[in-house]
Structure 1
Amino acid sequence: MQRNDDPEFWQSVTGTLEQGEKPIETARREVLEETSIDITQSAYQLIDCQKINTYEIRDRWKYRYPPDTPYNTEHVFVVEVANDQAIVLTEHSAYLWLDKALAMQKVWSYTNREAISLYVPDANSSI
C-alpha cells in the first residue's frame, strides 16, 4: 500500500499496540482499519511468524513517538486473502497486488522485504 504522507513509501499493513492489546489483536484491528478486511469474519487464518524486528525510526516520523524513542519494534504476521477480496483504503492512497519478486522491489523497508521473502510463497508454489 502507498502511504498518503510519502508517495515513495510502499508498505504492508502496520500499526501501534494499544493499551492492553496483544500483538495478534493489533494485527487483526489494523488490517480491518487500513483495508476493511475482517480477518475473523472472513475466516482467514492470521499466522504469527514468531518474528520481531527492531529498527530505527525515520526522522520524519519521530514526532509520532514518545520523546527520545529511537527504535520501533515490529511483530510480523501473515494472512492469505482471497484473490477477489475487496479492499477499502483508509490510510493509504493506493494498493497493488504483486508477485513476490515485484512486491519485494516495491516496498520501502528492509523488514517488509524480509517478511515477503520469508513468508510469501512464489507464484508457482503451493501452500
Structure 2
Amino acid sequence: MIRNSIEAWIFAPRERQILLLQVEEDGLSFWQPITGGIEKGERAAAACQREILEETGLEMARSELQPLGHYTVEIDKNLSIHKSLFLARPQKKDILISDEHTDFQWIDLAQVPSQLYWPSNQETFQMMMEKNEKRRF
C-alpha cells in the first residue's frame, strides 16, 4: 500500500530559521517539520496549505510554497509513504500549534539536523538545503 503525504519545511528568511514541531506518541517525543496526508482528490500543494494552516495557524498562499520534489519512505513490506516536499516562506512567525503537537521551536538552519529524530526527515532536510544552496535562501 502507498500513502501520499506532504512534508513542509517552514523557513523564516530574515532569521534564517526553520520551524520544527514536537510530537509525542507511544512514549516517544521528537521534532519534525509539518507533515500530513493528502486527502482523496486533493492536490499536493493544496494539502500542504491545509496542513500548514491546521498545524500552525499560518495561512500560506500557493506562491509562498516552493515544490522540492518527492521522497518515498518504506515503512515495511506492506506500506510506503510517498511524500511531496515543499519549502514555505511565511510572512509572519506567529504560530498556533494544533493539539497533535506539544511544542514548537524556530531553530537556526545549522542546528536543524541534530534536532530531527527520523532519518527520512534528516534526508529531506538535506534535499531542501541542496536545492536552495545556490539561492542562499
Tell me if both proteins adopt one fold, taking TM over 0.5 as the criterion: yes
| 1:109 aligned onto 2:130 | no
Q: Which structure has the larger Rg?
A: 1
- Per the normalisation by structure 2, the TM-score is 0.70
Quick one: structure 1 residues 117 and 22, their matched pair in 2 at CA, closer, same or farther if it must change by over 3 Å? same
- Per the normalisation by structure 1, the TM-score is 0.75
Give 3-state SS (helix, strand or coil) of 2:67's partner. strand
Aligned-pair distance for 1:44?
A: 6.0
Name the residue aligned to 1:56. Answer: 74
Determine if contact 1:52/1:76 at 8 Å carries over to the other structure.
yes
Tell me the percent identity: 25
| 1:87 aligned onto 2:95 | yes
Name the residue aligned to 2:46. Answer: 25
Which structure exhibits the higher relative contact order, with contacts defined as CA atoms closer than 8 Å and separated by 6 or more residues? 2
**More strand per residue: 1 or 2?**
2
Gaps of 5+ in 2: 1-20
| 1:12 aligned onto 2:56 | no
Return structure 1 stretches of 4+ with deviation > 2 angstroms.
114-122
Gaps of 5+ in 1: 59-67
Letter of the 1:48 partner, please give it: P
| 1:47 aligned onto 2:66 | yes
Looking at structure 2, the residues matched to 94 and 7 of structure 1 have their Cα atoms a distance apart, in angstroms, of 14
Aligned residues: 112
Looking at structure 1, the residues matched to 55 and 28 of structure 2 have their Cα atoms a distance apart, in angstroms, of 16
Aligned-pair distance for 1:85?
A: 1.4
CA RMSD of aligned residues (A): 2.4
Quick one: structure 1 residues 44 and 87, their matched pair in 2 at CA, closer, same or farther if it must change by over 3 Å? farther
Name the residue aligned to 1:64. Answer: none
Looking at structure 2, the residues matched to 13 and 54 of structure 1 have their Cα atoms a distance apart, in angstroms, of 16
